[in-house]
Chains A and B, each alone.
Chain A
Amino acid sequence: MSFSEKVYRFLLRAYPRNYQGRYAEPMEQLFRDRLREAHTFADLAVLWVRTLADWAVSVPVRYWEGAKPHPHVLNFDSLDPARRCLFLARSEASSFSRREIKLEHLLLGILQQEPNLVSDAGAVVRAIEANEPAGRRIPPKEDLRLSQETVRVWEAAKVIAQTAGRQEVAPRDLAVGILRETDTLAARLLREHTPGQSQRLSGLG
């Protein structure tokens, strides 16, 4: 190990411990790669000036990121599974530039929580993405409304959970609700990608 590598390894200790655990090795590897490109003393000097500037800026930023409250993440963790699906559905609708959370967005949210609900989650995601326009993202502070179908599915899922004697609505209950909206793309995709299961899912309701 060269002297420069030893110094850089020492500098990495300044980063937060959990960050070091995840990224110290690839960062050291990247520094080593760049060191290999430095053939002259001038190259080495430029590399060190840039590396020290990068270090001086990024170390405090990593601590600040670790210390600042992250309300969305905290809220997300405290949500029940069905509301997590809705939270994720809102994010999906927003990323498609929609002002309404439709069943397809809800299905994407459900699959993020329970990807094994369907046989091929990737195919479902691709089919939904193919039907959505890419556009400007709506900032999270703006409210998105639920579509009428999404409201019906939400209410149906609550009834399904209550009938089953559960207080908490499960993502699976939402999926059953979607299956009842038979003419929608989300219901069709669920039927197509839950071979032999869609009837069982419906039976749960």
Chain B
Amino acid sequence: MYSPTPLTPAVFHILLALSDGERHGYGIMQEASARTNGKVILGPGTLYGTINRLLEAGLIEEAGERSDPELSDERRRYYRITGKGRRAAVTEAERLLGLVHVARAKHLLRPARAV
């Protein structure tokens, strides 16, 4: 069975993109690109290959087809995160946060500023 921890960057970006709502493939790609200032651009092959694995693992599910009012009137397949997927994303985020703490302790990063 697909082991979700640690998650690959593509998997984590997709789960993050879906964590606040349903999105179609292009929406997921746009969200990942915007969040990383264009550094992560998921190509069609990578994106749908990863979506396929996430569907099989039960971390995301299909949420029907409909058109996106902000884009063309083409029907698009939407996806949503499952409870299991959300838990996997939280676990990964905590794992990454732990690494950031280690990097701070080793003075590789400046201490976080109080907001």
Contact = CB atoms under 8 A, between A and B. Distances in A.
Q: Chain B binding site: helix, strand, loop or mixed by DSSP? A: helix
B1 A91 contact: yes
Q: Chain A binding site: helix, strand, loop or mixed by DSSP? A: helix
Interface of B: 1, 3-5, 24-26, 29, 41, 43-49, 51-53, 71, 74, 76-77, 83-84, 86-88, 90-91, 94-95
Contact of B45 (A59, A72, A126, A137): A59
A135 B91 contact: yes
B3 A95 contact: no
Given A29-B26, A30-B29, A58-B43, A136 B48 contact: no
A202 interface: no
B25 A26 contact: yes
A29 B45 contact: no
Interface of A: 15, 19, 22-23, 26-31, 33-34, 50-51, 53-55, 57-59, 61-62, 65, 72-73, 91-92, 95-96, 125-126, 129, 134-137, 139-140
Contacts of B77: 26
Contacts of A29: 25-26, 74, 76
30 contacts: A15-B45, A23-B48, A26-B48, A26-B77, A27-B48, A29-B25, A29-B74, A30-B25, A30-B29, A30-B44, A30-B47, A34-B29, A50-B43, A54-B43, A57-B45, A58-B45, A58-B49, A61-B49, A65-B53, A92-B84, A95-B88, A96-B87, A125-B83, A126-B83, A129-B83, A134-B90, A135-B91, A136-B95, A137-B5, A137-B87
